[in-house]
Amino acid sequence: MRLLEFLENPRLRGGIHTDGHKLLTSGKPIETGLPIPKKLYIPVQQHVGKPAEPVVLVGDNVLKGQLLAHSQGTISAPVHAPSSGTIADVVDYPAPHPSALPIRTIVIETDGLDQWQESVVVQEPYKLDPEEICLRVGAAGVVGMGGAVFPSSVKLSLGRKNNIHTLIINAGECEPYLTCDDRLMQERARDVVGGIRLMLRGMGAEKAIIGIEDNKPEAFQAMQKACFSIANITIQQVPTRYPMGWDRQMLRYLTGWEIPADGRATDIGVVIHNVGTAYAVYRAVCQSQPLISRIVTVSGGAVGKQMNVEVLIGTLMSEVLNFCHVDKSKIARLVMGGAMMGDALPFAEVPVVKATSAILALTQEDIEVPDVKPCIRCSSCITACPAGLLPLEMASRIRANKLDAAVDLGLKDCISCGCCSFVCPSNIPLVQYFKYASGELFKRQQIQHKSEQTKRLAEDRQNRMERIRLENEAEARRVMEARAARAREAELANAQATQIKPENAAAEEAV
């Protein structure tokens, strides 16, 4: 029975072993000497939710850490000045996105002084009210640093309302090449643990579990040392197996619990935060520093000096690449984020944003994709899928344009982790099929929504016209009736008059 239970609910499903390429950068300290660029490009939308609204005008002088745009609505995050200088422009500038479509961006011409705005440092941060912690985190513009960029304060406040008992800190960092979290834990473990304590307090949760992949023993030791004396934070090593950092996979491995397909982690009393977010929370609350910089892994075959570097938000990627001695002629693909789920960027003249965990300059060799061959149904993709889907069957449905059949097979549960494409011996771009299908379904939904809307409007109009017609008719009838009634009345009156007359005459005669 136990065996059956295990087969049905293994702690770890699917996943792949990638060639990590992590040793390129994991042994080197975080580089903090990147010169302040002449210009910083800060998009007002670097998070999930509504874009922030600028509160500065062109020509304003700003200090480091000053608010540039405040958050709009419940799910949003503010952005701050990464360095001191003058607001040069508020323009539409290409976003770090595969499309590179322009979005609203605040451009700062830096003065090189890097002068902080005045701020009050909290004396006893761990005794702050939970609400106060959430407010400070929100005001500092902290978002999920693992790449999801969901505003952290929203997650913390949600946690307070939902009786959260467990905080999971995701330090899996399973993506190839990435070591920014690894280095962060190795070098700034105490700050990270401080952030976790603040998060626990902010949510009113009892305990935290940190999951670290077992290919980061130094980070594991550093973290263990840092929270040695703290009883309610435990650290667990998890197997190195992409996508270990998928929050639901991490949760299942650490606790055995599974989140319902239509629910969230909060439904079962858990909140999952990235380890980088914990560090940002620490900086926000304990040092009153908003999120204006982040650690970025710069790696890949075309990079001369692979490293982790602390980069001001808004620095152009091309400047970071120059700093790391990138051979531009060798770049075959520029990727923001990890090599599995990151976005390919069309050019490097885009800013580093809060979501930029890595910049990978990959050479032709790194991304070599041989010809696509027919599927041989080897079922490697099924074994590799962490979500328990049938990628090969879904792809064949999508190829036949039977998107609904693909949805029946679980297309909507796909997390686009790329394991299936990675293992496919025929090099079929399976994830691309699923992304296409999801986009297409969304489009169809939009079209259907639109046509329903149009139909409703048309129906409304028809009803209205009908009503007007009926009303007109009724009015006409009423007028007619009224006229007829008047005519009848007049006739009646006439008739009475003539009748009365003879009567009168008779009476007169009688008299």
Partner 1 sequence: MNSKPVSGPHVLTVRRVDAIMFKVVVALLPAVGFGIVLFGLPAFYLTVTTVAAALLVEAVCLNLKGVRVMPYLSDGSAVLTGLLVAMTLPPWAPWWIGVLGSVIAIILGKQVYGGLGQNLFNPAMLARVALLVTFPIEMTSWVDVSPLFTGISLADSFGITFGQSYSLDGITGATTLGAVKTGFSQNQTLSVLLSDYSGFLAFIGWERGSLGETSSLLILLGGIWLIRQGIIQWTMPLSVLASIALLSTLFFAIDSQHYLSPWVHLNSGALMLVAFFIATDYVTSPNTPLGQIIFGTGCGTLIFIIRTWGGYPEGTGFAILLMNAVTPLIDHYIKPRIYGRYRDGKPIEIQNP
Rounded to whole angstroms, how far apart are CA atoms 195 and 230?
Answer: 13
Query: Of 75 and 158, which has the nearer Cβ to partner 1?
Result: 158
Q: Decide if residue 405 touches partner 1 (CB under 8 A).
A: no
User: Which amino acid is residue 181, in one-letter code?
Assistant: D
Angle among Cα 64, 323, 185 to the nearest 5 degrees reads 70
Q: Using the rule CB under 8 A, give the single segment among 53-61, 71-79, 319-327, 385-393 that binds partner 1.
A: 385-393
Chain positions 430 to 449 lying near partner 1, rule: CB under 8 A, are 431-432, 435
Q: Decide if residue 96 touches partner 1 (CB under 8 A).
A: no
Which of 46, 110, 240, 421 touches partner 1 (CB under 8 A)? 421
Which of 33, 35, 59, 374 touches partner 1 (CB under 8 A)? 374
Chain positions 273 to 292 lying near partner 1, rule: CB under 8 A, are none
Angle between helices 275-286 and 180-203 (to 10 degrees): 60
Query: Of 180 and 409, which has the nearer Cβ to partner 1?
Result: 409
C-beta neighbour count of 390 within 10 angstroms? 17
Which of 380, 395, 437, 438 touches partner 1 (CB under 8 A)? 380
In this structure, what DSSP letter does residue 36 have? P
Q: Decide if residue 255 touches partner 1 (CB under 8 A).
A: yes
Which of 2, 3, 4, 19 touches partner 1 (CB under 8 A)? 19
**Number of helices followed by number of strands (H, E) in the chain:** 15, 16
Convert residues 299-338 into a mask of x (bound to partner 1 by CB under 8 A) and - (unbound): --------------------------------xxxxx--x
Min dist. Cβ of residue 346 to partner 1 (A): 4
C-beta neighbour count of 360 within 10 angstroms? 30
Q: Decide if residue 13 touches partner 1 (CB under 8 A).
A: yes
Which of these, 427, 424, 430, 425, lies nearest to 411 by C-alpha position?
430
Determine how β-strand 79-80 pairs with β-strand 85-94: unpaired
Min dist. Cβ of residue 235 to partner 1 (A): 20
Q: Using the rule CB under 8 A, give the single segment among 37-45, 314-322, 372-380, 499-507 that binds partner 1.
A: 372-380
Query: Of 400 and 485, which has the nearer Cβ to partner 1?
Result: 400
Which of 52, 180, 227, 389 touches partner 1 (CB under 8 A)? 389
Q: Decide if residue 98 touches partner 1 (CB under 8 A).
A: yes
User: Which amino acid is residue 135, in one-letter code?
Assistant: L
Rounded to whole angstroms, how far apart are CA atoms 310 and 455?
Answer: 54
Rounded to whole angstroms, how far apart are CA atoms 381 and 389?
Answer: 9
Min dist. Cβ of residue 232 to partner 1 (A): 17
Q: Decide if residue 91 touches partner 1 (CB under 8 A).
A: no
Q: Decide if residue 16 touches partner 1 (CB under 8 A).
A: yes
Angle between helices 275-286 and 130-139 (to 10 degrees): 100
Query: Of 214 and 408, which has the nearer Cβ to partner 1?
Result: 408
Which of 77, 280, 339, 437 touches partner 1 (CB under 8 A)? 339
Which of 12, 344, 400, 447 touches partner 1 (CB under 8 A)? 344
Sheet strands side by side (includes 61-62): 39-43, 102-110, 85-94, 61-62
DSSP secondary structure string, 282-338?
HHHHHS---S-EEEEEEESTTBSS-EEEEEETT-BHHHHHHHTTB-GGG-SEEEES-
Which of 33, 35, 59, 260 touches partner 1 (CB under 8 A)? 260
